[in-house]
A and B are shown apart, each in its own frame.
Chain A
Amino acid sequence: MTAAPLPGSAGRYRTARRARAVGLNGFALIIALVTLFPIFWMISTAFKPSQEIYSLTPSLLPTHPTLHNFSQVMSGQASGIGSVWLFFRNSLSVTLATVLIASLLSLLASVAVARFRFRLRASFLIMLLIVQMIPGQALIVALFLDFNRIGLLQNLGGLVIVYAAQALPVSIWMLRNFVATVPKELEEAAAIDGASAPKIFWRILFPLVMPGLVATSIFSFITAYNEFIVALTFLGQAHSEYTLPIYVTYFFNRGGAQWGPIMAASTLYTIPVLIFFMIVRRRLVGGLVAGAVKG
């Protein structure tokens, strides 16, 4: 009446456990599929001919898959401002330049912060925490007027300067933890063996903080590749300088509901990041969590 008879209880316990495992896995599967669905839908739409896109009963997969949307995007016909490859190149060069500059500057600064005790060190760290919170939309007015004055508005170089500076606070904050974990004894031993300071830096410190540099590079990469408000404001009508997000936005705002080509452009914008992220996944999670949990 009250409880299961003793002999059967182990079996029942096992059944209950299995039921729970099935439930848990089913729940997990639903979450994963719902999460993946928008990306799937974007890619699926990109391969659909327009009569299928606007069909009254949408189908999950394209019944007559076509590359027409992609060819329209690549020829520049659909957007009217140029081939997607032009904007891809713009985005890529801005992103790579940002990653390089931000990595170098933040590595130098994080060595200073992690290896030296100096006056204003704590103030500097607190300043980093505060400036990383200042939103782009608060500074955009001043940045716009400044860069207008120095003539770097409709210019990819101007974007690199802003992005690199924006990536610095978080990069320094993350990287200093990695520098701090490199044992000082290694550097001391190298110095005793007669290695010069630059040599110690490149041969010992640099390889050891490489995982940290990968993590911060990913962060600068996201900052630059996704950045919207500064590019939107700076680039204005300079179509040939557009980065991918501004190109997609322009395309989107042009109207005419060209959802096939727009989804093709979005797919081409998104897929490289997704591939990149799957490759660096392991490091990414560790680095980001270290950054987030520690500050």
Chain B
Amino acid sequence: MADTVQGRRSGRPALRPPGQRHSGQRPAGPRAANQSAQARAAAFIRRHKIAPYLLLAPALAGIALVLLWPLVQVVLYSFQNLGLPQLTGAAPTQWAGLSNFSTTFADPEFWLSLRNTVLFAVVVVPLTLVLGTLVGLLLNRLGRKMAAFVSAAALLAWATPPTAGAVLFYWMFNPDGGLVDWALSKMPHWLVGSTNWAQYNWTTTGAVQAYTVVTLLVLWTSFPFIAVTVLAGLKTVPAELYEAARIDGATPWRALRRVTFPLLKPIFLVLLLLSVIWDFNVFNQTYLITGFPGNQNEYNLSLYIYDKAFGFPPSYGLGGALALIFTAILLVVTVGYVRSSVRQGALT
């Protein structure tokens, strides 16, 4: 009976409910062999070929137009002399060969910004991972109320919009009335060194000082995500494993190293790659903390690209070449990310 009803309904050329795809796997009734069943099967297959593409089309169009096509354009721009005169039509756009790249590689500011970017990531990524993991482990050990309080606090830090966070940290580290300089100036010299901390300027003194502020800011916003993810991973580790480790005489540290970490390794790998990508991409925070377009020595790669592309005079060709270099660097990391995702069976 059910078979007939379904047969009558599905004969309509409407978009098929996706779930029915597998109905063919059900034991075929006696009627399955007749003519209409064959016709239905044909329509089935035909529709199956288009249905997913129809569903996919709008999203794919959006991604293609806003993310993929611009990437192609950036590649084209990087070989052109595209600037303001070319944009307004005052001068023709010409192919410039590799000159954008050679200009970039010959610019010491480029290497400086690359160094800032890499050093920043090298410092911040481990700091974030270690702090986040420690807080995650802590959350796992705490009572319910305390855990809720700490995770709520972490969530609030994480949820604070980066622009508000950056402006806020700039204010806390401000030489005029900022809290940090005041606190440091009140501390004994043996603890904070003999620098005159009152009215100490964090943002324009040098790259190290500015990036100290950026480091604390990024640490503050990004450790909660690591902590919550690690906590979720910890919850999946069966308690019996720890019990067995304890019976075997393992110290807590040893149990952590030999039981927890191996089991959470896939999570750590993803978090590591994500952190590298995020910390390489930092733009908002460095833009505000370094007071862009302020001190060129404080540029990271993102600020350098932005300055070349939209500064005076704007050079979209140079910006394109830089974007390409930047994307290539990130692609190396991304390949690692994709590979680890695929290996974890993310595509199934």
In the complex, the chain A residue whose C-beta lies closest to that of B67 is A131
Looking at the assembled complex, report how far the CB atom of B146 sits from the nearest CB atom of chain A, in whole angstroms.
5
> Could you give, for residues 134-174 of chain A, a 1 whenever the CB lies within 8 Å of some chain B CB and a 0 otherwise?
11111111111110100000000000011011101100100
> Could you give, for residues 266-291 of chain A, a 1 whenever the CB lies within 8 Å of some chain B CB and a 0 otherwise?
10011001100110010011001100
Report whether B168 and A41 are in contact in the complex, using a CB–CB cutoff of 8 Å. yes
Contacts of B177 in A (CB 8 A): 53-55, 58, 257, 259
In the complex, the chain A residue whose C-beta lies closest to that of B266 is A293
Q: Which of B291-337 contact A (CB under 8 A)?
A: 291, 302, 305-306, 309-310, 316, 319-320, 323-324, 326-327, 330-331, 333-334, 337
**Is residue A254 contacting chain B, with contact meaning CB distance below 8 A?**
no
In the complex, the chain B residue whose C-beta lies closest to that of A246 is B163
**Is residue A226 contacting chain B, with contact meaning CB distance below 8 A?**
yes
In the complex, the chain A residue whose C-beta lies closest to that of B308 is A141
Report whether B283 and A277 are in contact in the complex, using a CB–CB cutoff of 8 Å. no
The interface-forming segment of B70-78, B239-247, B253-261 is: B70-78
Contacts of B146 in A (CB 8 A): 25, 28-29
Known: A134-B67, A142-B71. A116 touches B21 (CB 8 A): yes
The distance in angstroms between the C-alpha atoms of A172 and B174, with both chains bound, is 42
Contacts of B66 in A (CB 8 A): 143, 161-162, 165-166
**Is residue B250 contacting chain A, with contact meaning CB distance below 8 A?**
no
Contacts of A29 in B (CB 8 A): 146, 149
**Is residue B14 contacting chain A, with contact meaning CB distance below 8 A?**
yes
Contacts of B2 in A (CB 8 A): 192
Contacts of B110 in A (CB 8 A): none
> Could you give, for residues 91-127 of chain A, a 1 whenever the CB lies within 8 Å of some chain B CB and a 0 otherwise?
0000000000000011011011101101001101111
**Which of A33, A56, A187 is within 8 Å of B17, CB to CB?**
A187
The distance in angstroms between the C-alpha atoms of A200 and B23, with both chains bound, is 16
**Is residue B272 contacting chain A, with contact meaning CB distance below 8 A?**
no
Contacts of A188 in B (CB 8 A): 17, 19-20, 22-23
In the complex, the chain A residue whose C-beta lies closest to that of B141 is A24
> Could you give, for residues 153-177 of chain B, a 1 whenever the CB lies within 8 Å of some chain A CB and a 0 otherwise?
1111101111111011111101011
**Is residue A42 contacting chain B, with contact meaning CB distance below 8 A?**
yes
Known: A115-B18, A184-B22, A229-B283. A142 touches B74 (CB 8 A): yes
**Is residue B187 contacting chain A, with contact meaning CB distance below 8 A?**
no
In the complex, the chain B residue whose C-beta lies closest to that of A56 is B182
Looking at the assembled complex, report how far the CB atom of A51 sits from the nearest CB atom of chain B, in whole angstroms.
10
Report whether B17 and A108 are in contact in the complex, using a CB–CB cutoff of 8 Å. no
Known: A112-B52, A133-B330, A188-B23. A273 touches B160 (CB 8 A): yes
Secondary structure type dominating chain A contacts: helix
Known: A28-B142, A225-B161, A269-B164. A129 touches B302 (CB 8 A): no
Contact count A vs B, C-beta below 8 Å: 338
The distance in angstroms between the C-alpha atoms of A118 and B59, with both chains bound, is 16
**Which of A115, A128, A293 is within 8 Å of B233, CB to CB?**
A293
Looking at the assembled complex, report how far the CB atom of B159 sits from the nearest CB atom of chain A, in whole angstroms.
4
The interface-forming segment of B30-38, B118-126, B338-346 is: B338-346
In the complex, the chain A residue whose C-beta lies closest to that of B327 is A138
Contacts of B281 in A (CB 8 A): 135-137
**Is residue A4 contacting chain B, with contact meaning CB distance below 8 A?**
no
Report whether A131 and B163 are in contact in the complex, using a CB–CB cutoff of 8 Å. no
The interface-forming segment of B4-12, B189-197, B204-212 is: B4-12
The distance in angstroms between the C-alpha atoms of A294 and B5, with both chains bound, is 40
Report whether A196 and B323 are in contact in the complex, using a CB–CB cutoff of 8 Å. no
Q: Which of A4-56 contact B (CB under 8 A)?
A: 24-25, 27-29, 31-33, 35-36, 38-39, 41-42, 45, 53-56
The distance in angstroms between the C-alpha atoms of A188 and B149, with both chains bound, is 44
The distance in angstroms between the C-alpha atoms of A200 and B17, with both chains bound, is 7
Report whether B160 and A39 are in contact in the complex, using a CB–CB cutoff of 8 Å. yes
The distance in angstroms between the C-alpha atoms of A57 and B181, with both chains bound, is 11
Looking at the assembled complex, report how far the CB atom of A149 sits from the nearest CB atom of chain B, in whole angstroms.
10
**Which of A54, A142, A195, A248 is within 8 Å of B163, CB to CB?**
A248
Report whether A136 and B6 are in contact in the complex, using a CB–CB cutoff of 8 Å. no
The distance in angstroms between the C-alpha atoms of A257 and B147, with both chains bound, is 39
The distance in angstroms between the C-alpha atoms of A188 and B342, with both chains bound, is 30
The distance in angstroms between the C-alpha atoms of A293 and B73, with both chains bound, is 33
**Is residue B265 contacting chain A, with contact meaning CB distance below 8 A?**
no
The distance in angstroms between the C-alpha atoms of A273 and B164, with both chains bound, is 11
Known: A41-B179, A249-B288. A270 touches B316 (CB 8 A): no
Can you list the 7 inter-chain pairs with the closest CB atoms, starting with the nearest?
A187-B19, A165-B66, A142-B70, A115-B18, A112-B55, A109-B59, A245-B163
Task: State the B residues within 8 Å of A (CB).
Answer: 2, 5-6, 9-10, 14-23, 48-49, 51-53, 55-56, 58-60, 62-63, 65-71, 73-74, 77, 82, 87, 135, 138-139, 141-143, 146-147, 149-157, 159-165, 167-172, 174, 176-177, 179, 182, 220, 224-225, 228-229, 232-233, 267, 270-271, 274, 277, 280-281, 283-284, 287-288, 291, 302, 305-306, 309-310, 316, 319-320, 323-324, 326-327, 330-331, 333-334, 337-338, 341-342, 344, 346-347
**Pairs A–B under 8 Å by Cβ, sample size 6:** A32-B149, A106-B59, A116-B21, A146-B70, A162-B66, A165-B63
- Beyond the given A134-B67, A138-B74, A257-B177, please list 9 additional residue pairs across the A-B interface where CB-CB is below 8 A: A31-B153, A118-B53, A121-B52, A137-B326, A142-B70, A168-B62, A200-B19, A259-B171, A269-B163
